[in-house]
Each structure stands twice: as C-alpha cells, then as structure tokens.
Amino acid sequence: MPRILDFNGRDADRTVTVESIVALKNSTTQFAQVTAATADESAAAEAAGIEMVVCMAGAVPAVRQGSSRVFVTAAIDFGGAVTLDELLGTAFDALTNGADAVITARRLDAVHRLAQEDIPVMGHLGFVPKKSTLYGGVRAVGRTADEATALWKKFQQLEDAGAFAVECEVIPAKVMAEINQRTGMATISLGSGPHANVMFLFSSDICGESDRKPRHARAYGDLKGLYAQVKAERVRALTAFRADIATGAFPNESELGQIDPDELKQFIASLDPD
C-alpha cells in the first residue's frame, strides 16, 4: 500500500494514488469507486476492498474518520463556492481535511485554476444531473454523431485544462469505449459501460437503499427492506411496552432495585421519629 504525505505533511497510507489512477490507462486493471457520506460508509468501503470513494466536500472529515486509507475525492457542488477564489478555498479546505482530490462540473477555467495549484482535479462530463434541463431531461448524452463529437471535444478541453480524471456519466457504452482509448485522462464510468478505468456506483444503489434504482445500477443488498424491518420492530417494541404499563406488567420484581427489610424499617423509622 503506497505511503504518502497528506496535504498537512503527515504520513498516510492510501489504497491508491493519483499516479496509480492515471497509470490505469496502460493497464487492464480497474478500480472501484462508491459514494460515502459517513464514517460507517467509508469504513465499509475499505473493508470491502473498494479503492476510491467520493463525497461532498463538507463530508470529508466524517469520511476520513471512517477510513484513513481509501482515496477520497471531494465534490465541490454548484452552491456555496461561486467565484474561482471561493472554489479554490473550498478545495484547499477539503484537502486539509483529508481529501486526495476534488471533482467539479464547473467551467474549464475553474478546473484550470485548481490545476495551477497542483490540486488533483477531476471533471464531470456526459449527463450532469444538475444540468439535465440542458439535455431536455434525464437521458444518455452522446446518442447522436453530432452530440458524441461535441462531447469528445469537451473531453479534449477538460484534459487541456489540467484534469487528471473525469467522471463519465450515462454516456452510450460504445461511445465511451472510443473516447476512453483516446483520452489521456483516467475515466470513471457511472452508467457509461465497462470500458473505463474506474467503475462507479452510488452506495445507496449498491446496498438497495434507493426508492428508484437507475437502469445502470445494480442492487447487491436490501437495506431498504432491513430498514423497514427495523421500523416495524421499533413500533412493535414500543407498543408492547405501552401495553405492559397499562396492565401493570411492567416493571416486574426482577426489574426493581432491592433493599434489605431491616434497612427499610430503619429508613421508615427515620421518616416518622417518635
């Protein structure tokens, strides 16, 4: 496991590094990435052998608390950090809190500004959910020759801006395969097929927590069902407690604190002295 010095200059072990992610371009190896928002989720990712997690920038401290080893990418959203200086400040804060890289779907000069400071920065191309109105709704991006060509130009521009990797969301798989072999950036596929360097799914979809599972996702668990069982069991237990109070069945003798009979007599006598 690679040893690095983190952004604070402290010794740290990481499952992977920026260099090893970029090196996937010349390898048949693929890494796995999932989302994490809590210490429990990042700890579970590490225990499962997941190399990379992505979280919102504000969640980095909690995620890093759960795992000191997974590669953490901090997502800088469209809210909050508006100007380039604010974006840069948010990125530095995320790195200081333990992130290894940042990801943003902001404009190219934002990516370039971060790269100028040697901040490992990922871009986001294809379907970007918060820009879905630009595509006419939720759909794959790159379904026509013209759209795929325009998308490829964005990949080239993003690489020129200094991004070392790019999240590729809901791009037709055959288009993604052609782009992947031509771009120098490490590619992270979210619903864009198998021809990428990193395979990415949301933890909530993997674990079966989501109400609506995207077509590109696969559920490997049923946490939603387990949560429903927990909810039902909580109500059952509370109902039984209330019923025992109504009937006098709670508390019983074994649940009461005891006092020696002689000690009790002495106590009562002290309350009502002659």
Q: Catalogue the active-site residues.
A: 169
Q: What tokens appear for 137 in the block? A: 């709704």
Contact present, 199 and 30 (Cβ < 8 Å): yes
Nearest-angstrom CA–CA distance, 78 and 61: 20
Q: What is the DSSP string of 104-129?
A: --S-HHHHHHHHHTT--EEEEEE--G
Alpha-carbon distances, residue 169 vs 42, 52, 237, 240 (angstroms) = 22, 17, 44, 49
Q: Kindly compute the dihedral angle of the four CA atoms of residues 101, 102, 108, 114, in this order, to the nearest 10 degrees.
A: -60
As to burial, measured by CB atoms within 10 angstroms (0-12 exposed, 13-18 middle, 19+ buried), residue 104 is buried
Contact present, 13 and 3 (Cβ < 8 Å): yes
Q: What tokens appear for 71 in the block? A: 């590669």
Residues with Cβ < 8 Å from 136, sequence gap 6 or more? none
Contact present, 189 and 200 (Cβ < 8 Å): yes
Contact present, 196 and 188 (Cβ < 8 Å): yes
